[in-house]
Amino acid sequence: MIKYILRKLLLAIPLLWGVVTIIFFLIELSPGSVADHFFTPETTPEVREMIIAKYGLDQPAFFRYLLMLRNLAMLDFGHSMVQERPVFDMVMEALPNTLILSAVTLMIIFPTGILLGTVQGVRQGRPVDTGISIGSLFFYSMPSFWLALMLQLIFTMHWKLLPTSGMYDMVWYDSLGFGGQLWDRALHLVLPGLAMGLAAAAGTARYMRSSLLEVIRQDYIRTARAKGLPERVVIGKHALRNALLPIITLMGLSLPFLFSGSVLVETIFAWPGMGRLIVNAIFAQDTPTIVACFFVFTLVVVAGNLIADLMYAVIDPRIQYD
């Protein structure tokens, strides 16, 4: 097991190198630079040269690329060209917010998807199966940004049940007690969590249904039923555990979706997370911040897939990692 984990971690090194390399040179190939945001028609050539030199843009791109790799090897993300702050501090402020939103989204995706998929598999071909299938396809076909806007329109503008944006109420939050502050933050999590989780839960339900239908046709399920075991025991103890294996793979692959989906959802809901940070950095062409964000995204995806691989052995003891 230890050797397997170490091998996975070593394989992550060329992956990280490839991601940051592609991102860096894509930024270099894009028109303009971060210095353009500080120029005005009245800016003199001397001031322009000073600004360009300040951000090191007078150096060759390959030299700046090597300097970036050296800094990343020491986990030094540098300073933001726009905010004049250490990028590490900016990431540490935004990352917990995105992880909180992602955790809430996962709690929506997988319990809901597994429950609905199990009901569909057990009630195959019945009206409940058809109804859940139609509802799943309805939500699965919705883009997350459109769903986010519709949720805001319904629950905030029309029904006035939930807050529309932010992590907490900017006016009343400080005057609330601990319980009130916790409740206020929970209310602000509902809409962005639903916007990111409903479509993915619908997809998970489809995967769970197919996996469960395949498992319950196996000989050992027929044998368990022939022994007279109750149906809830057959499904809950024998079928469900084996049907969850593809869902674990889906769980590891859902992390890239969560972080890419958070870019739009965090922008719509003014959620101060990694998605909003990277959008602002892209518009400003803030290279250190963009590279740091993708570096962290890749680390989280690698960690998520490693955890998913290890969970296989927990669900199915037959799987061994030598």
State how far Cα 139 lies from the chain centre.
18
Q: Helix, strand or coil for residue 119?
A: helix
More confident residue, 102 or 306: 102
Q: Is 285 left (phi over 0), alpha (psi -120 to 50) or beta?
A: left
Looking at the domain covering 88-315, what would its CATH class be?
A: mainly alpha
What pLDDT is recorded for position 209? 93
pLDDT digits (tens, 9 = 90+) for 13-40: 898 999 999 999 998 888 877 777 777 7
pLDDT of 134 over the 80 cut = yes
pLDDT at 322 (0 to 100): 59
215-230: average pLDDT? 87
Q: Tell how far CA 230 is from the center of its chain.
A: 39
Locate 314 and state its tokens. 């927990």
Identify any residues that bridge with 79 across adjacent strands, giving them in sequence order.
86
Please give the average per-residue pLDDT across 205-234, as a whole number. 89
pLDDT at 316: 65
Q: What is residue 289's predicted lDDT score, i.e. its pLDDT?
A: 92
* Helices within the chain (DSSP H only): 2-29, 45-54, 61-73, 87-122, 127-140, 144-151, 178-215, 219-226, 231-233, 240-243, 245-268, 274-284, 287-315
The answer to whether the CB of 169 falls within 8 A of the CB of 158 is no
Closest CA to 304 of 249, 247, 244, 255: 255
Instruction: Report d(CA 250, CA 244) in Å as an integer.
Output: 10
Other C-beta atoms lying within 10 Å of the C-beta of residue 63: 10
The amino acid present at 160, given as its one-letter code, is K
What does the chain come to in residues? 322
Burial 123-145, CB ≥16 within 10 A → b, else e: eeeeeebeebbeebeebbeeebe
pLDDT exceeds 90 at position 194: yes
Q: For residue 146, what are the contacts with CB-CB under 8 A and spacing of at least 6? A: none
Domain positions in the chain are 2-73, 88-315
The residues that bridge with 86 in the sheet, in sequence order, are 79
Average pLDDT of the segment spanning 256-269: 81
The answer to whether the beta carbons of residues 148 and 268 sit under 8 Å apart is yes
pLDDT at 7: 83
For the cut 80, the answer to whether the pLDDT of residue 263 exceeds it is yes
What is residue 246's predicted lDDT score, i.e. its pLDDT?
Answer: 81
pLDDT, tens digit, 9 for 90 and up, residues 60-75: 888 989 989 998 888 8
Residue 317 confidence (pLDDT): 64
